[in-house]
Structure 1
Amino acid sequence: MNFSPIPTDQVRAWQAGAPDANGQKPERHISDGGGNPCRHCLKMIPKGAPMLILAHRPFPAPQPYAEIGPIFLCADPCEAGGGTDLPAILQSPTYILRGYGADDRIVYGTGAVVATESLAHEAAARLADPRVAYLHLRSARNNCFQLRIDR
């Protein structure tokens, strides 16, 4: 199982001012250090560091299940995070875990709010389902996309 960040080529485009999923230029802000997780390096953006806020659609194309929502990114180039260990951005007690098929649509019955300490086990169980191509992890409080989980 691999925790996958937003691809570097897409992040670099936004860092250079490319439009987000709503066709708007990413907003530039300064992190207050109060929980701004970068969806590329998968670390918290430190207090005082420049950051971007933008609308992200973590799907290849618009369709009814292709949710769009706000995310944070480091404004300056950062190295892609990810791998098999739980990323540093996962600091909340619970997250929404949801499976998607190869058609990028929700696989019903795979969505749940899961405890962070159970995340690896719950993700592995969903990825064992042959209908599930990948998972999304989202904030349980605000439904914001955090990262993708692949086999």
Structure 2
Amino acid sequence: MRFVAISTDLARHYQAGGADANGQVPERQLAEGGGNPCRHCLKMIADGAEMLVLAHRPFPAPQPYAELGPIFLCANPCEAGGGAALPQMLASPDYIVRGYGANDRIVYGTGGVTPTSGIPERAEALLGDPQVAYLHVRSARNNCFQCRIER
């Protein structure tokens, strides 16, 4: 199992002012309060650091299950995060963990709010289902995409 950030190519596209999933230029803001997780380095963006706010669709193409929503990203190039360890940016008490099939659609019955410390165990169980191709970790409060989990 490994945690996967958005691709470096896509992060650099957004950081260079490229259009987001709504066709808009990402907004530039300053991070405040320590609650701005970068979806590329998978770390919290430091207070006072410049960040991007943009619409992101973590799916290869639009379709009814391809949720689109806001994410934060370091405004300056950062190194891709990910790997087997729980990312530092998962700092809330819990998250939604949900499975998707190879067709990029929700596998019903897989979604649920999971305590942050229990994400690895829940992910291993869900990835044991042959119908599940990958998982999303999403905010339990706002459903915002955080990162992907793959086998």
Q: TM range, normalised to the smaller chain?
A: over 0.9
Find the aligned partners of 1:96 and 1:147 in 2 and give their Cα distance.
Answer: 11
Which residue does the alignment assign to 1:38? 38
Task: Kindly report which structure 2 residues correspond to 1:2-151, keeping only aligned pairs within 5 A, or say none.
Answer: 2-151=2-151
Q: Secondary structure at the match of 1:3?
A: strand
Equivalenced residues, count: 151
Find the aligned partners of 2:105 and 2:31 in 1 and give their Cα distance.
Answer: 33
* 8 A Cα contact 1:33 1:45, kept in partner: no
Find the aligned partners of 1:26 and 1:33 in 2 and give their Cα distance.
Answer: 20
Q: Secondary structure at the match of 2:83?
A: coil
Deviation at 1:33, TM superposition (A): 3.5
The unaligned stretches of length 5 or more in structure 1 are none
Deviation at 1:32, TM superposition (A): 1.2
Consecutive aligned runs of 4 or more in structure 1 exceeding 6 Å deviation: none
Percent of aligned pairs with the same residue?
70
Find the aligned partners of 1:131 and 1:123 in 2 and give their Cα distance.
Answer: 14
The unaligned stretches of length 5 or more in structure 2 are none
The alignment's TM-score, normalised by the length of structure 1, stands at 0.99
CA RMSD of aligned residues (A): 0.6
Q: Secondary structure at the match of 1:92?
A: coil
